[in-house]
Structure 1
């Protein structure tokens, strides 16, 4: 796999990686063809797992390389990581305030963002789509870092990040397609909406890779920006949702396992 990707341009690498992570969302959404229901304990465990993966990826694959790269610059070593991290969180906060969306399991009256008459299905898809933007950016920036030749970045590490994000995308497809099926939507339409939420990932991956290749100096800021955006999503949405169903211990253990899995992937291949 690594040998095959080495012959491609970094933008194409990022695009393929984004399509790979999208496919896991589609796989989760395809569960709608098998069942209408989702076991809440399983869902909370998977959401916890996703949170753990994203936390680990934010440090091992994004913040740590950003800090290492900053040591070679004429600024305090912590500055790019701190600035980029906070900007990433502010960016997601702004997106939350701007785009109408609703989280899984919440009533329609709890929709966030600008008030709209859009259907509940659209608001559900937008909620997960917002979460997928930083994941796509993280993948793209990781491949872009390899392209510009930073010593702390390598193709195996970018692949490890891609695999980790792909695995945690599975429950995101579930939390869109199955609720829509229970509300009376056809299997095919429920699947379509479920997988559509991740289409933004390959787009964001291409944008992330292209940006750091064109302007190499923003790389540590871009890495930490993606980390900040992902941590915002974890704290704001994923962890609270995983705890709401009364399965806090399962969700917490899922997060611990997810963190360890992503850490092993990154340390072993990165």
Structure 2
């Protein structure tokens, strides 16, 4: 692990953010590739994995984004928390706006429950767009952290950025499976199901590069950018991930998965950051 951190310290931060999110995309593709091995999925395991995803995202929002953002903010008391409040609110509102505009369908929901503007798009496309929607803040978060390290902000570390990328990668694995398998059950070929599943994370490297560039170019925005990514991620968890785990009888398993994901991400961030 030390060698990985040393390597990321030695390269351009934008390139580092790109490589880190190629890793998160790769784990999405690995999860999607399970469609070649299995004909179906166990709903209890599926809900547990979705819960794990939510736990990772919530833990990352605080340990990797909000806490460092508050730490590096100037001032004291209420003044010190203003960037976090503003950024968090804007991030949530940004995802709220995308949620209302972008046509999508959450996993485990009926086609009649699709959200966004009305469209004749197929259910497969809507499923992919739903996962793509919540991959945007994940990629942005990684890029912002790498950009913060390059800008020399206290509280932003390569170890923390690597930990965030690992955590997001781990929860991307079940996400890839969560997209490819339902598409396969709709009658698509295994190859087509895999391609749809892995494509949902292609937005992460793009968002990461934009995030790293923005922070390096406009350094004062870093506390706001970190909190922005946190707000967007929390919105996704509450609006999408948690409701998806409550559609069947395995809510306790999903809750335990959430706790496990939170513990894993917290451990990674504290241990590496």
| TM-score bin, normalised by smaller chain | over 0.9
In 1, the alpha carbon distance for the partners of 2:200 and 2:75 equals 38
Q: Pick from 74, 79, 83: which aligns with 1:80?
A: 83
Q: Does 1:19 align with 2:22?
A: yes
Q: Does 1:199 align with 2:241?
A: no
Q: Pick from 233, 248, 251: which aligns with 1:245?
A: 248
Tell me which residue corresponds to 1:228: 231
In 2, the alpha carbon distance for the partners of 1:72 and 1:214 equals 23
Q: Does 1:126 align with 2:99?
A: no
Question: Secondary structure of 1:78's partner?
Answer: helix
What are the ranges of 5 or more consecutive residues in structure 1 without an aligned counterpart? none
CA RMSD of aligned residues (A): 1.3
Tell me which residue corresponds to 2:269: 266
In 2, the alpha carbon distance for the partners of 1:148 and 1:74 equals 24
What are the ranges of 5 or more consecutive residues in structure 2 without an aligned counterpart? none
Tell me which residue corresponds to 1:101: 104
- Conserved 8 A contact 2:108-2:247: no
In 1, the alpha carbon distance for the partners of 2:21 and 2:108 equals 27
In 1, the alpha carbon distance for the partners of 2:75 and 2:194 equals 47
Query: How many pairs are equivalent?
Result: 270
CA displacement, residues 130-166 of structure 1 (integer Å, 9 cap, x when unaligned): 0100000000001011110112111111000000000
Q: Does 1:139 align with 2:149?
A: no
Q: CA deviation at 1:73?
A: 8.2
Q: 1:214 to 1:73 in 2, by over 3 A?
A: farther
Tell me which residue corresponds to 1:152: 155
Q: Pick from 254, 257, 260: which aligns with 1:257?
A: 260
Q: Does 1:164 align with 2:167?
A: yes
CA displacement, residues 8-42 of structure 1 (integer Å, 9 cap, x when unaligned): 10000000011100111111100100112111110
Q: TM-score, normalised by structure 2?
A: 0.96
Question: Secondary structure of 1:77's partner?
Answer: helix
Tell me which residue corresponds to 2:69: 66
Tell me which residue corresponds to 1:9: 12
In 2, the alpha carbon distance for the partners of 1:42 and 1:156 equals 31
Q: CA deviation at 1:72?
A: 4.9
In 1, the alpha carbon distance for the partners of 2:65 and 2:130 equals 24
Question: Secondary structure of 1:161's partner?
Answer: helix
Q: Which moved more, 1:80-89 or 1:102-111?
A: 102-111
